[in-house]
Structure 1
Amino acid sequence: MESFQLKVTIPSDEDGCILLRCPRCGELFKVAVDNYEDDSVLDIHCPLCGITAGNFLTQDVIDLALAKTANAVMPELEKELKRELGKMGNGLISFDVKMDYGEEPEKPIQQAIEALQKVTCKDCERVSKVSPALAMSSYTCPYCGIGQFNGF
């Protein structure tokens, strides 16, 4: 089987921010696409618990990627199995490959969280969106990881 590449595009909101989810605490937050792809941003930090992780993708992004992968791989796998197993057998034994798979639905990604508040880091001056409770108290900047205090 040849290699292939699939592209999953995460839609941004009107401010150019994409929705992310912390794998540890489940906090939803948004970061600007330009800053997310910037080489100067080494890690993304959760604004609530402050951890960095290799994957802040939301479940609907993961589900779409898995569905696209299954829809691309399963027909190719069936062809490859038929090709390989078709060579096997003799007059008494034969192999026939019949795979029963349906196409996985590829649900579009929704940017459903609009209750997030835009905040600007006092240290790196980058904009992100966090929950209103964090915006009014303290949060970790998703880009630089420095704690921000917005108390009274």
Structure 2
Amino acid sequence: MEIILRKLADIDGCVTLQCKHCEDKFKVNVQEFEDFQGEFMFCASCGLSSNPQDLIFTEDFQKNAQIELENFALKELQKMFGEKNVKGKLKTPKDLYEVNDMNLILKNCCNRQVKINNSANFASTYCPYCGGI
């Protein structure tokens, strides 16, 4: 079983990540994130490390994942028992688009872009890739 979930990047090619520790959100370039080979990534706000996969599940992404799983389960039940015996309505997941709502900064340590909230302090922003300030 493979279900692919996608979220379209913002105008700068960035997607939102959410820290499981402080729950703050920040954005990284989607291509850099997909190419990242490290074991840990760091929150741009609190600097704590997490497994990269733990950072991708923002609330809207989780809701779409739930819809996709429910649809998959319903289709499988209908295949096994027939559509007449299993009643249910497939839900339509929302198209997920990133809003361009954060400030783009360049972290010189890794020469990578990160987007942070407008209220965040630029000087104390951690690099999501190496954890440096």
TM-score bucket of the superposed structures, by smaller chain: 0.7 to 0.9
Q: Which runs of 4+ in 1 moved over 3 A?
A: 39-42, 97-100
Q: CA deviation at 1:135?
A: 4.3
% same residue: 26
Q: CA deviation at 1:39?
A: 3.8
Q: Identify which of 73, 93, 97 aligns with 1:110.
A: 97
**TM-score, normalised to structure 1's length?**
0.73
Structure with bigger RCO (C-alpha 8 Å, 6+ apart): 2
The number of residue pairs the alignment matches comes to: 129
The one-letter amino acid paired with 2:42 is H
Task: Kindly report which structure 2 residues correspond to 1:5-84, keeping only aligned pairs within 5 A, or say none.
Answer: 5-54=2-51, 55-56=54-55, 57-80=57-80, 82=81
**TM-score, normalised to structure 2's length?**
0.82
Structure 1, unmatched stretches of 5+, are: 84-96
Structure 2, unmatched stretches of 5+, are: none
Provide, for residues 12-51 of structure 1, a one-character-per-residue CA deviation record: whole Å limited to 9, x for no partner. 1111111111222221111011210124443221111122
The Cα RMSD (Å) is: 2.1
**Match of residue 123 from structure 1:** 109
**Match of residue 119 from structure 2:** 133
Which has the larger Rg? 1
